[in-house]
Amino acid sequence: MEALALRLSQLDSLAEGAIRIVMFYDTLMRRRVDLPALARASAVLAECVAGIRLHGTGQVIRMSPDGTGASAPVPPPSCTAPITLDDEEIGVVWLERPGTPGSPELDALLLDRLAIASASVVERYGPARTTMADPALVELAISADCDEASRARALRLLGFAAALPVRVVAVRSQLPLDQLGGLLCPGRPVKAALVAEVGVILAARVEPGSFPAGVRAGIGTADRPDRSWREARTALRFSTARRPVVHYDGLGALALLAQVPQDAARDNADVAAVARIATSPEDLETLEAYCATGSLRRAADLLHLHHSSVARRLEQIGRTFGIALTEPTGLMRAGLALTAWRLLDD
């Protein structure tokens, strides 16, 4: 009888604790608290450090029982639970209870409710769980006409924390944008959408060597997404098969060519000469190789031709221009004209 009474007493204690935990999180969810508040309240209730991590953004929140952020180093968790949304694991919650847990059952229930509450917060406020994003939100984030409050809200709904840097990339790609976004920024926040027939990728970070073959891209460098988007579109216009990925800050004074009215560019004699040369793919390829290398012999190596063959082609092309391409001034004029011609109708 004494053993049965002891078991019933323990059951009552667990039941009381379980009800308290359920009511506690129900109250927090009704108050629509954010993730830091959830972690803080959980740490106070559990009387140990509580943590939340979102896989998509890499955001980690650790709170101590006194309501402040927990300090490093991070010890191994005493127990964990996944955060799931639409049957997808989007993060994890945990407790860092030193020593032997007082009640593993109550800790498990607390984490279960914390995970449910965290999923509810993510669903309500973001971040979105997939790489593809609502084009309207992306367009709002990169619009020059958007006020800063609306831009900040759009970025938050897209999954970018206030302090998180946002890089903007303009792309033309046969590869689906969601796959491309995942390649460019693995394990970090990234969203992609098609806006005005141009792929837009917003990313916390862009790995320089992560662009697959066949992708043309322009990378903006400004801190504000609207300015970065303007830079990214400009850089994309300068991309070529030989130089498929262009950083705006690498253009320097060449970026000014993007501001030249197209009618003025077409009327320029050198640009018109490039247009005539472009009717011959062989001549255009030779001119591009020579302008890219600045050397007859290096152009020959690039084209896998004998340098004498390239010299003959350049002499013919020079006659179309009316200048000697092997002279420094001729090379400079040809390079500028070629770039200006590429920007036409782009």
Tens of pLDDT, residue by residue, the chain (346 residues):
344 344 434 545 778 888 889 999 999 888 888 899 999 999 999 999 999 998 766 788 999 999 898 987 888 898 999 998 767 788 899 999 887 666 888 999 999 999 999 988 887 766 544 577 788 889 999 999 988 888 888 888 787 877 678 889 999 988 888 888 878 877 677 888 988 889 999 988 887 678 888 899 999 999 899 999 999 999 999 998 888 999 999 999 999 999 999 999 999 999 999 999 999 999 999 999 999 888 889 988 988 989 888 889 999 998 998 988 888 999 999 999 999 999 997 6
Strands 216-219 and 245-247: parallel
What Å distances lie between residue 329 and 273, 289, 294, 333, CA to CA? 16, 17, 12, 6
Q: What is the pLDDT of residue 170?
A: 96
Does the N-terminal peptide bond of residue 281 adopt cis geometry, omega within 30 degrees of 0? no
CATH code linked to domain 260-343: 1.10.10.2840
In the 8-state DSSP scheme, what is residue 242? S
* Domain boundaries of the chain, sorted by first residue: 2-125, 135-258, 260-343
What backbone phi and psi angles, to 5 degrees, belong to 91?
180, -170
- pLDDT for 275-302, tens place per residue? 999 999 999 999 999 998 888 899 889 8
What is the spatial distance between Cα 290 and Cα 287, in angstroms, rounded to a whole number? 5
Helix (H, G, I), strand (E, B) or coil at 175: coil
SS3 304: coil
Query: Could you tell me if 225 and 202 are in contact, meaning their C-beta atoms sit under 8 angstroms apart?
Result: yes
Alpha-carbon span 200 to 150, nearest angstrom: 19
Grouping H, G, I as helix, E, B as strand and the rest as coil, residue 50 is: strand
Distance CA 97, CA 257 (A): 62
pLDDT score at 152? 86
Q: Which uninterrupted H or E stretch holds 49?
A: strand 49-54
Q: For residue 247, give the 3-state DSSP assignment.
A: strand
In terms of Cα–Cα distance, which of 188, 186, 140 is closest to 164? Answer: 188
* 2-125 matches 260-343 in fold: no
H helix intervals, 31-80: 35-46
Q: What CATH number has the domain spanning 2-125? A: 3.30.450.40
Task: List the one residue out of 60, 79, 78, 80 whose CA is nearest residue 70.
Answer: 60
> In the chain, how long is the greatest CA-to-CA distance?
111
Query: If residue 58 lies in a helix (H) or strand (E), which one and from where to where?
Result: none
